């Protein structure tokens, strides 16, 4: 075959369409990002939220609106009102009045008791304390213990009929004991115990004393009121000493462990103590709940 015909056939083969489709045009490779959509701002212009430790999202606190601010203030007022109500409703503690410590002793012999005197005024001190013994229960022997900063004196009275004291007749007994401060006395929010040894005590019953408290301001308070019933307490209750018979005292000491279990039920029956505590607790819980709800709305 001649060379010219061979060249024509080769040219025709090169013009035939290829069976392999052409490769699509290559797109520029992107590293670490995806193609940006049309109309979207560049990645450098997008707002990014601050991150804490590279993972946790942290947003700025929202400003308090008018409604949440009013709710927070209302919760504050409720909390303050609850605290005030709890302070008013809570029962007065035992040492808030002039009392006898301990409140119960065994009768028929001698016993040492303390007259506990608190100062209930914020602007005055207690400078004088007088204790009057009951006239219908004369005590043959009354002795006091020295108290630093106080001068003690006693006053006697003559009995119409002598009393028997361990086989001896006694016709003169102590009727009044007075402590007078030689210094500042009992400061506000403080108390003092004045010890007295007394005997021979009655076999049983109660001894109701009268205490007279004098303040540095000149005010005089008499603690001589007796409660009409157990559910109410007078404004100035008299100090009362309960005296148990010797046999009853021994029996009570033998069953002290069993009596401890019944103390809770006795306290539940004391309405003058349980009811105020429950009311004050509910008031405090309501105030704290209102404050919690307001804080959650604020957040």
Residue 106, pLDDT > 50, answer yes
Q: Where are the alpha helices (DSSP H) in 172-270?
A: 246-254, 256-268
- Tell me which range, 41-45, 120-124, 277-281, is most confidently predicted by mean pLDDT: 120-124
Fold classification of 97-258 (topology level): Immunoglobulin-like (2.60.40)
Q: What is the pLDDT of residues 117-168, one digit of tens each?
A: 999 999 999 999 999 999 999 999 999 999 999 999 999 999 999 999 888 8
Distance of alpha carbon 28 from alpha carbon 287, whole angstroms: 67
Q: What is the pLDDT of residues 219-228, one digit of tens each?
A: 999 999 988 8
Tokens 């302070």, residue located:
87
Domain boundaries, the chain: 66-93+265-299, 97-258
Mean pLDDT of the chain: 75
Based on the number of CB atoms within 10 Å of its own CB, is 196 exposed (0-12), middle (13-18) or buried (19 or more)?
buried
Query: Partners of 215 in the beta sheet?
Result: 126
Confidence (pLDDT) at 12: 54
Which residues, 6+ apart, have CB-to-CB distance to 29 below 8 Å? none
Of 101 and 268, the one with more pLDDT: 101
Residue 283, pLDDT > 50, answer yes
Which residues, 6+ apart, have CB-to-CB distance to 271 below 8 Å? 231
> Where do the DSSP E strands lie in 18-167?
51-52, 56-57, 99-101, 104-106, 111-118, 126-132, 141-144, 150-165
Q: What is the pLDDT of residues 24-40, one digit of tens each?
A: 555 444 444 455 555 55
- What's the predicted TM-score (pTM) here? 0.55
Query: Partners of 210 in the beta sheet?
Result: 132
42, 36 Cβ separation under 8 angstroms: yes
Burial readout 250-281 (b: 16 or more C-beta within 10 A, e: otherwise): eeeeeeeeeeeeeeeeeeeeeeeeeebeeebe
Tokens 């009768």, residue located:
107
Q: How many CB atoms lie within 10 A of CB 129?
A: 24
Tell me if residue 175 falls in helix, strand or coil: strand
Tell me if residue 168 falls in helix, strand or coil: strand
């Amino acid at each position: 075959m001649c060379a010219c015909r061979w060249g024509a056939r080769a040219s025709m083969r090169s013009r035939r369409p290829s069976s392999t489709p052409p490769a699509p045009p290559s797109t520029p490779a992107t590293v670490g990002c995806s193609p940006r959509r049309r109309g979207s701002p560049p990645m450098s212009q997008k707002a990014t939220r601050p991150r804490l430790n590279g993972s946790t999202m942290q947003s700025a606190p929202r400003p308090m609106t008018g409604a949440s601010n009013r709710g927070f203030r209302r919760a504050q007022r409720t909390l303050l009102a609850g605290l005030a109500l709890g302070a008013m409703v809570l029962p007065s503690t035992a040492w808030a009045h002039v009392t006898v410590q301990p409140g119960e002793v065994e009768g028929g012999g001698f016993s040492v008791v303390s007259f506990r005197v608190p100062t209930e005024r914020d602007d005055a001190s207690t400078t004088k304390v007088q204790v009057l013994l009951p006239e219908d229960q004369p005590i043959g022997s009354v002795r006091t213990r020295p108290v630093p900063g106080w001068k003690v004196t006693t006053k006697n009275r003559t009995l119409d009929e002598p009393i028997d004291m361990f086989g001896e007749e006694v016709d003169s007994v102590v009727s009044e004991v007075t402590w007078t401060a030689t210094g500042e006395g009992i400061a506000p929010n403080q108390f003092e115990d004045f010890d007295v040894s007394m005997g021979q005590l009655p076999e049983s019953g109660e001894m109701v004393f009268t205490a007279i408290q004098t303040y540095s301001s000149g005010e005089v308070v008499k603690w001589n009121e007796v409660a009409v019933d157990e559910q109410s307490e007078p404004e100035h209750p008299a100090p009362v000493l309960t005296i148990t018979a010797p046999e009853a005292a021994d029996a009570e000491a033998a069953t002290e462990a069993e009596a401890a279990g019944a103390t809770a039920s006795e306290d539940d029956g004391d309405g003058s103590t349980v009811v105020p505590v429950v009311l004050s607790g509910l008031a405090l819980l309501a105030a704290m709940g209102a404050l919690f709800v307001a804080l959650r709305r604020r957040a």
